[in-house]
Amino acid sequence: MGAWGSGLFDNDNALDVMGDLEDSTPQGRPDLVVAALDEVLLADGYIEAPEMSAAVAAAAAVGAVVNPGAAVEESSRPHWLAADAFEVDEELIEKSRRVLRRAIRAQDNEWYELWAESGTADEMVESCQRALAWLGDRDD
């Protein structure tokens, strides 16, 4: 995973997901987001870093649509999200929350392992918690 920061969009997989979303129509974006989220949510066992980083970016995109004012400071945030968003329902919000909660658990999670090996897992966890706040996470 090529990463240049601990932000939610600061890696190659995130840019790929955001590029796919940007190239899609606003009506088609929710299906692409669900596909990325489900790669993690439906996985049995170990989750590889590319799938997790793509799902985290998709979840962060949902958070940026739900709460654009809070997301505006996020590094590498695609600016088109503010002007050309997509429809978000409660199911998409909940799936996004579940992915972000899963991302910050070390068990069976290569993405977390890579952050831990680099000594920056705490920064990544803070980024995910920030996105959970955008989604109105109540941690219940």
| Residue 123 resides in a domain | yes
Return the structure tokens found at 59: 């979840």
pLDDT recorded at residue 138: 60
What confidence category does residue 55 fall into, taking pLDDT thresholds of 50, 70 and 90? very high
Q: Is residue 4 part of a domain?
A: no
Domain assignment present for 2: no
- Domain assignment of residue 41, given as a range: 12-134
In a domain, 36, yes or no: yes
User: How high does pLDDT run on average in the chain?
Assistant: 87
In a domain, 117, yes or no: yes
pLDDT given at position 123? 92
> Is the residue at 140 inside a domain?
no
Please state whether the predicted TM-score (pTM) of the whole model is above 0.85: yes
CA 17 to chain centre: 10
Quick: pLDDT tens for 22-52.
899 989 999 999 999 999 999 999 999 999 9
Confirm if 8 and 127 have CB atoms less than 8 A apart: yes
* Greater model confidence, 14 or 129: 129
Any domain includes 6? no
pLDDT at residue 56 in the model = 96
Domain total in the chain: 1
Q: Quick one: pLDDT at residue 133?
A: 93
The sign of the dihedral angle between the CA atoms of 109, 115, 117, 121 is negative
In a domain, 7, yes or no: no
* pLDDT tens digit sequence for 88-140: 999 999 999 999 999 999 999 999 999 999 999 999 999 999 999 999 976 54
- Write phi, then psi, for 39 (nearest 5 degrees): -55, -35
Which residues are CB-contacts of 86 (< 8 A; sequence separation ≥ 6)?
21, 26, 27, 29, 30, 33, 65
d(CA 34, CA 127): 21
